[in-house]
Chain A
Amino acid sequence: QKEVEQNSGPLSVPEGAIASLNCTYSDRGSQSFFWYRQYSGKSPELIMFIYSNGDKEDGRFTAQLNKASQYVSLLIRDSQPSDSATYLCAVNVVGGNTPLVFGKGTRLSVIA
């Protein structure tokens, strides 16, 4: 059973703070890792992906991957109220175009 685990939250952070979202996965063969943001009533939209151990930065977002610990995280710097959404972690086990396995998502609330 391929599983992706996330704390459902809600995670509340004040505006301007760093939000840290965490995700663990069960299949050690997982190859690529994605973070999606989903606003209420909307479809998931891709924020970023990471394939290699370490950090990957894109603007205010940093993805961190530790394959040995089977752990991936997303940091959001200078959090804004517009960042309030559900953040979905997704994992691709086999690679190529095979389907992603999603976690249940963490609801983030940024308080102004």
Chain B
Amino acid sequence: GAGVSQTPSNKVTEKGKYVELRCDPISGHTALYWYRQSLGQGPEFLIYFQGTGAADDSGLPNDRFFAVRPEGSVSTLKIQRTERGDSAVYLCASSSSGGSGNTIYFGEGSWLTVV
């Protein structure tokens, strides 16, 4: 597609429930990133994929968070047993492997509210 696409744009869920957030990167971009942004803060890195594999998952806060990218394009961020502190905007971004290199382009984000 023309840009990074994320769904859902908004999600309200109850504490303890399971949530999946989807990201469709820019066509041809091999690198995909998940960030989380809370109010008044900059984006906080969660996980980075190069192709199908997670090249760096050091930003995942705990084992309730997991992400996959099985075919090297679409990625899903999965959050188990959601907590109110998980409420944030979850931003997906992608970049190509050459040219301007690591210039990353963001999607519009998935706004998650845990009540």
A residues contacting B by CB (< 8 A) are 4, 6, 8, 32, 34, 42-46, 49, 88, 90, 92, 95-105
Contact = CB atoms under 8 A, between A and B. Distances in A.
A37 to B, nearest CB: 11
Given A98-B48, A99-B56, A101-B45, A44 B101 contact: no
Given A43-B109, A88-B43, A105-B42, A100 B104 contact: yes
Contacts of B43: 44, 88, 102
A49 B104 CA distance: 11
Instruction: Tell me if A's interface is mostly helix, strand, loop or mixed.
Output: loop
A102 B42 contact: yes
B101 A46 contact: no
B42 A32 contact: no
A52 to B, nearest CB: 14
Contact of B102 (A4, A42, A96, A102): A96
Interface residues of B, number: 28
B105 A46 contact: yes
Contacts of B109: 43
Interface string B22-59: 00000000110101000011111100101000011001
A32 B41 contact: no
A34 B59 CA distance: 20
A44 B102 contact: no
Contacts of A45: 106
A90 to B, nearest CB: 8
